[in-house]
């Protein structure tokens, strides 16, 4: 049993190393997962007239937060959605189309290891992206420091896991890279709406905010915002993302198609 666990861990480690190398060889991966959040937030801070204005005059907490700081959690959620719902399913679809998955199916490696390796690589990239986004944003456009960095870290990790749970189901079922892209983008644009990309969540009608709170990216955006803005601990949002993760990952592993 101990030897089996060691072998399983070793296989996951090797897969993660391979996926990391492939990730770094693709410039678009590095841009969208690592650089995109910092570039987008900085550009918004430089060109948008609301960047240095209070985020929401009617709220006692948000009135103390400038506009660009108020938008920072949404930009992070956007980055997670781009990687988990667009790039990731397409990558797995390309593996399937090129026969990579079929060759792996002849080995003892279960599909869950491939999905976990992808999540680990992209989680690492997104954590770097979050730090880079804050450092550049603070230096150039005055983004305020997160009020609770540890809660922000927890929220970001759960946002990534929940989003990749959904992306994993898409990747598991899509027969081709084109199908994975189409399915992923459909979910992606809906998720951006509920994450508050088009309109910040606090400014949406109450019923839309309630619905958004039950979606992976909506709950993620709420949890990230609560941690960054210094609002109460986002228990319900974190639980929603945990449920999506616990349900989505096993479903994706069970439905996974090698070819």
How high is the pLDDT of residue 8?
A: 58
Which DSSP symbol is given to 256?
A: -
Compute the distance between CA of residue 123 and CA of residue 127 in angstroms, rounded to an integer.
6
Q: How many CA atoms lie within 13 A of 197 on its CB side?
A: 21
Q: Report H helices in the chain.
A: 2-25, 27-30, 36-47, 67-81, 88-97, 100-104, 111-141, 149-173, 177-194, 206-212, 216-229, 235-255
How high is the pLDDT of residue 7?
A: 54
Inter-residue contact 33 to 87 (CB < 8 Å) = yes
Write the pLDDT tens digit of every residue in 13-59. Answer: 888 998 898 888 888 877 888 899 999 999 999 998 888 888 877 77
Compute the distance between CA of residue 223 and CA of residue 3 in angstroms, rounded to an integer.
40
185 burial type by CB count under 10 A (0-12 exposed, 13-18 middle, 19+ buried): middle
179 SS3 class? helix
How high is the pLDDT of residue 218?
A: 95
Write the pLDDT tens digit of every residue in 112-129. Answer: 788 889 999 999 999 999
259 burial type by CB count under 10 A (0-12 exposed, 13-18 middle, 19+ buried): exposed
Q: Residue 148: which residues within 8 A CB-CB, separation 6 or more? A: 227, 230
Compute the distance between CA of residue 67 and CA of residue 169 in angstroms, rounded to an integer.
35
Compute the distance between CA of residue 38 and CA of residue 196 in angstroms, rounded to an integer.
18
How high is the pLDDT of residue 32?
A: 80
pTM, 2 dp = 0.90
- Which residues does the chain have with pLDDT short of 50? 1-6
Phi and psi of 66, rounded to 5°? Answer: -75, 165
How high is the pLDDT of residue 6?
A: 38
Phi and psi of 54, rounded to 5°? Answer: -60, 140
């Amino acid at each position: 049993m101990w030897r089996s666990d060691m072998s399983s861990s070793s296989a996951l480690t090797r897969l993660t190393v391979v996926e990391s190398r492939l990730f770094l060889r693709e410039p678009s991966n590095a841009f969208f997962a690592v650089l995109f959040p910092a570039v987008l937030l900085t550009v918004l801070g430089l060109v948008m007239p609301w960047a240095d204005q209070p985020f929401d005059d009617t709220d006692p907490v948000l009135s103390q937060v400038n506009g660009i700081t108020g938008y920072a959690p949404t930009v992070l959620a956007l980055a997670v959605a781009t990687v988990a719902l667009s790039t990731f399913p397409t990558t797995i679809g390309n593996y399937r189309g090129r026969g990579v998955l079929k060759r792996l199916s002849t080995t003892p490696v279960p599909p869950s290891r491939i999905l976990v390796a992808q999540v680990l690589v992209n989680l690492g990239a997104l954590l770097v992206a979050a730090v880079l986004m804050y450092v550049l944003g603070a230096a150039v456009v005055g983004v305020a420091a997160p009020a609770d960095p540890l809660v922000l870290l927890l929220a970001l990790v759960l946002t990534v896991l929940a989003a990749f749970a959904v992306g994993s189901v898409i990747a598991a079922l899509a027969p081709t890279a084109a199908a994975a892209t189409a399915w992923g983008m459909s979910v992606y644009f809906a998720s951006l709406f509920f994450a508050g990309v088009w309109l910040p969540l606090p400014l949406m009608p109450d019923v839309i905010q309630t619905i958004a709170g039950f979606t992976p990216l909506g709950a993620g955006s709420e949890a990230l915002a609560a941690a960054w803005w210094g609002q109460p601990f986002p228990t319900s949002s974190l639980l929603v993302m945990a449920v999506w993760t616990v349900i989505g990952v096993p479903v994706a592993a069970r439905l996974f198609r090698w070819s």
